Structure 1
Amino acid sequence: MKQSFTVRQGALDGVEVFLSVARHRSFRRAADELGVTTSAVSQAVRALEARVGVALFIRTTRSVGLTEAGERFHARARPAFEELVSASDAARQLAGRPSGLLRLTVPRGVVPTVLEPIVASFCRAYPEVQVEIVASEALVDLAAEGFDAGVRMGQYIAPDMVTVRLSPPFRLVVVCSPSYLASRAAPESPDELTDHACLRWRRSGGAIAPWTFDDNGRAIEVVVNGPYIANDFPTLIGAAIAGVGLAQVPEPVAARSLAEGKLQRVLDPFAPLTPGVFLYHPGRHQVMPKLRAFIEHVKANAGGRGRRHHLHE
C-alpha cells in the first residue's frame, strides 16, 4: 500500500537566521548581516525552536551560546544549508549562460546529412555545452525522456511544438541498385509496384508505412510488399544498394549513393515533396540558454531557413 507523505510548510524557515546567529554568537550581528532588525531575528529563532520543540540557544545579557540540542542541529543544518545554496548557484549558472548537457533525439539518417556540420561548429562556438546525440527513430516524449529538443521530418512533429527549420523541403524518392533492374523492367507507375520487391519502413509506433506519391497534384498511398523491413532509412538504403529491392527514402539521405551510381531513381515523376527536417521543442518558456544558443546557431548556419514557427499555423 502506498504511503502518504507531506512536506511541512516552512520546514526551512529560520534556518539561515539560526546559522547566522550561531556563527556570530550574536543576535545583533546576525541582524546586521541579514539586513533585518534584531527583533525579527529573535522572532525567527523562537519560531524555529517552537517548531523543533527544543531550545537551540542559551541567552544571557552578555552572550549567546548553543545548547546541546543546538549543537546537534547546527552540525547537520550547516552543511545541508550550504549544499542547498550550492545547488541554487549551480542551477542559476545554467540559466545565465550556455552551459551543461544538451540532449537531442535524432533519426539516424539525419545525423550525417543535416546535423553533423551544425553540431561541429556549435561545439567550437560553445565549449561549455556538451551535446549528446541519441540516434533513434522513436517519437519520444522529450520531457519524460530528458531531452532538450528533437529532430524529425516535419510531418511527424506534433502541432503544439515550436520548430526551427534545418533543411529545405525535399522529395521522397524511390531508388534501387542497377543490379536490381538488370533482370526486370523499372516500374512506370505506382500501380506496377505489385510486381516488385519493396523494402518497407516500420514506424516507431509499430505500423509499416505505406508509400506516398504525388499523382498530378493528388496525394496517393500505396501499400507495398517485399522481403525486407527496417525502422530507419540508412538500413533501407543499404539493402537497396545490395539489390534486395526498391526503397522509398528521403532524397538527401540517398544523395551520395545516387551520385556514386550505387542507386538510381525510379518513378521520379511521382515523387512527393515533404516539409523537410526541423528541430522541435516544447515552447519558448522552457528554453534554457544552452538550447537557445543552439537555436540561434541553427538560424545562423542554415542558410537563413531557420525561422522559428509553429508547423501548422
Structure 2
Amino acid sequence: MDTLQNMRIFTLVAEQRSFSATARALNLTTGAISRAVSELESRLSIRLFNRSTRVVTLTPSGERYRHHALRILAAMDEAEREARNSQELAAGELRVTISEEISHLRIFEGIRIYRRQHPAVSIALTLASGIPDLYRGEADIALVNATSLPDSGQVARHLTTTFNVLCAAPRYLRGRQLPLCREDLAKHECLALDAAGCRPREWTLDDGNRSFRMRASSMLQTNSASILLNATLDGMGIGALPLSTAVHGLQRGELIHILPGYRANVTNVYATFASCRFMDARVRTWLEFIVTYLRTVVEADKAALTRNASPVQTGVCA
C-alpha cells in the first residue's frame, strides 16, 4: 500500500512539476512528498526526477515509469469502483444452491419474477443434498430444508416453515378402507421419503398440539420428492408429499387428502450465506426477494389445502 501511495504522489509531482504544489494539493508537507519520491526511487534503483531549485522534470526512466504507473493506478481505481458498485448494483452471476426437497416451492417461477426486477443478474442454480460449504466458494447463497441447522459458522435466516401432506390416488383407495385416524395407517402401504427432516422409513405426524412417530411400512423408500409423487399417483400407496406438490394433485382430483388433521414431517426452510458484512447486492436483493416470495407461496398452498379438505376425513385419534 505504501508503494501505491508513493506511486500516486509521484504521478502528481510529474503532473504539477513541483513538490510544493503537490504537497498543497494533498495537504501534506513538502518533506513528506520528497520522502515518498525518494522511497520509490530507492525501491526501483532509478532516478525519477531531475531536481533544481526552480524546476522539476522527469528523467527518461521516470517518463517510462510514469506511463506504466498511470496504467496501474487506473486499473486499481477501476477495480475499486467495480467492487463498490457490487454493493449497490445487482448485476452478474448469482450462484444459488437449493435442496431438492424444496425445489417444488415454485423456485423457478420465483427466479423469473426476480429477474424481471433485476435483469442484470443471471442465476446459476444447483440442486444439492445437504448444506454446501459457502466458505469454499461452492455458492453465493443456499436454500436448505431442515428441522434445524448444525453450527457451521455460516449465517442463516429462517424463510418459512413447510410440511408434507398425506395423500393417496383414488385408484389406491378403491376397495380399501379410508384411514380415519393415524392407527388406521398401519393397514396401508405408507410410501417413505428419505430426505432432510425425515427419518428413514418413518413419519412424524403433528396434529398442532403433539407429534407422533410412526413407521412408514412400505416396499418403496426414495430420497426424491418427484419419484414419491409419481409412485403415489400410480396408486402404490399413501405418500407423505411436499405441500406444494400435494396441492396441485388435490386441485386436479388426482389425489385425495388423507387425515387432514395431521401434518407430516414439519421442517424449516433457511437461507444460508457466508457473512452479513458487505453483502453483495446480488445476494442481498435475492435474499430480500426470496423470503417474501416463499412465505407467500407457502401461505397460498396452505389456503388451497384447506379449501380442498374433505370433512369426512378429519378424524384425529387421542
The 5 Å alignment of 1:127-138 reads 127-138=119-130
Q: Say whether 1:254 aligns with 2:246.
A: yes
Specify the code of the residue in structure 2 equivalent to 1:64: T
Q: How far did residue 300 of structure 1 move? A: 6.1
> Per-residue CA shift, 1:187-242, capped at 9, x if unaligned?
653685486262432449x9847321237843233343544444332232123223
Give me the whole-angstrom Cα distance separating, in 2, the residues matched to 1:289 and 1:52.
40
2:191·2:228 contact (CA, 8 Å) conserved in 1? no
Gaps of 5+ in 1: 1-8, 307-313
Specify the code of the residue in structure 1 equivalent to 2:9: V
Q: How far did residue 257 of structure 1 move? A: 1.2
2:193·2:221 contact (CA, 8 Å) conserved in 1? yes
Q: Say whether 1:155 aligns with 2:147.
A: yes
- 1:46 aligned residue: 38
Between the aligned residues of both structures, percent identity stands at: 22
Q: 1:150 to 1:119 in 2, by over 3 A?
A: same
Give me the whole-angstrom Cα distance separating, in 1, the residues matched to 2:185 and 2:220.
19
Specify the code of the residue in structure 1 equivalent to 2:71: P
Gaps of 5+ in 2: 300-318
2:156·2:272 contact (CA, 8 Å) conserved in 1? yes
The 5 Å alignment of 1:255-274 reads 255-272=247-264, 274=266
The 5 Å alignment of 1:115-264 reads 115-153=107-145, 155-158=147-150, 161-165=155-159, 167=160, 169-182=161-174, 185=177, 189=182, 192-193=185-186, 196=189, 198-203=191-196, 208=200, 210-214=202-206, 217-224=209-216, 226-264=218-256
> Per-residue CA shift, 1:53-101, capped at 9, x if unaligned?
4433333443322353x45644544323321211101001122344443
Q: 1:238 to 1:300 in 2, by over 3 A?
A: closer
Q: Say whether 1:82 aligns with 2:74.
A: yes
Give me the whole-angstrom Cα distance separating, in 1, the residues matched to 2:156 and 2:131.
15
Q: Which shows bigger deviation, 249-258 or 237-246? A: 237-246
Give the SS at the match of 2:4. coil
Give me the whole-angstrom Cα distance separating, in 1, the residues matched to 2:234 and 2:64.
73
